[in-house]
Amino acid sequence: MSGSLGGKRALVTGGDSGIGAAVSLALAVAGADVAIVYNRDEVAAAEVVKGIEANGAKGLSVQANVAEVGDVDRLFETVASEWAPLDILVCSAGIDGHAALSWEGDPEAWLTVIKVNLFGTYLCARKALAQMVEQKSGVVINISSVHEVIPWTGFSAYTASKAGMSMMTKTMAQEAAEHGVRVLAVGPGAIQTPINQNVWGDPVGLKDLLDKIPFGRMGTPEEIGRLVAVLASDDASYVTGTTVFADGGMTLFPGFRHGG
């Protein structure tokens, strides 16, 4: 298989939709075989697998809820028997949660966001790292967000999960470096996917959002997919323990762009 990821095997959580689906296809375009993990949408997962195979790569889909220890154990048993050696893990499964001020929201809903975004990433990354450390090669890429550094009213669980992911990523990178394994994060800004359709689907919401982006447009899932494919490849062989933001300038304090 040609391409910068030729001969590599990848696993992408949340690969059935949004950024995860675009990442899965971009990895396949770069030559990797790609297994995707989906929680509920079997039909969407099958579509993505078709897309992976249309690029001449092998595809596989596995059902698992990344927030459940038993599910992740079962997932990695499948990986060990059908998808080893694993070279690339992309943790893209995530939810925004419902908007609620911290003092008004439901604690159980808060915890669910942490469980999916942070605990789920931890569960998958630790399983992949155990194997990658052993084989002395591999890359883990966690899909974070601009909200690992930008506070977001109504989404304290989401911001906490992504800020936590940033420090967890750095710590895992420190632990894995001497074993030849890289761990890093990608921090997308406002990427047009189903997760934020309630904002971009409404003209007032969209205008308010675009005001926060110096590029004046939302990003596409494909722009994140291509970045992840580069970071997963040896072209990024010296990159570890950092978050690479892809946000059209959203983290650049856009409120100051005309002075102030």
Looking at the DSSP bridge assignments, the partners of residue 246 are 188
The DSSP secondary-structure symbol of 236 reads G
CB of 16 to ligand BGC, least distance (A): 16
Largest CA distance in the chain: 59
Q: Which position among 44, 133, 195, 230 is part of the footprint of ligand BGC (CB under 6 A)? A: 195
Sign of the Cα pseudo-torsion (131, 134, 138, 142, in order): positive
With binding defined as CB under 6 A, does residue 145 bind ligand BGC?
A: yes
With binding defined as CB under 6 A, does residue 147 bind ligand BGC?
A: yes
With binding defined as CB under 6 A, does residue 156 bind ligand BGC?
A: no
Which one, 199 or 230, has the nearer CB to ligand BGC?
A: 199
Site for ligand BGC in 49-108 (CB under 6 A): 96
Which one, 189 or 221, has the nearer CB to ligand BGC?
A: 189
Which one, 85 or 154, has the nearer CB to ligand BGC?
A: 154
Which residues, other chains included, contact 100 with Cβ-Cβ below 8 Å and sequence gap of 6+? 106, 109, 154
Percentage helix, strand, coil for the chain under 3-state DSSP, each rounded to 5: 50, 15, 35
Site for ligand BGC in 161-190 (CB under 6 A): 189-190
CB of 176 to ligand BGC, least distance (A): 25
With binding defined as CB under 6 A, does residue 143 bind ligand BGC?
A: no
CB of 200 to ligand BGC, least distance (A): 8
The DSSP secondary-structure symbol of 67 reads T
Tell which residue, 29, 91, 93, 19, has the closest CA to residue 59.
29
Which one, 114 or 199, has the nearer CB to ligand BGC?
A: 199
Catalytically annotated residues: 158
| Distance of alpha carbon 238 from alpha carbon 256, whole angstroms | 33
| Distance of alpha carbon 160 from alpha carbon 255, whole angstroms | 23
Q: Residue number with the shortest CB distance to ligand BGC? A: 145
Residues in contact with ligand BGC by the rule CB under 6 A: 96, 145-147, 189-190, 195-196, 199
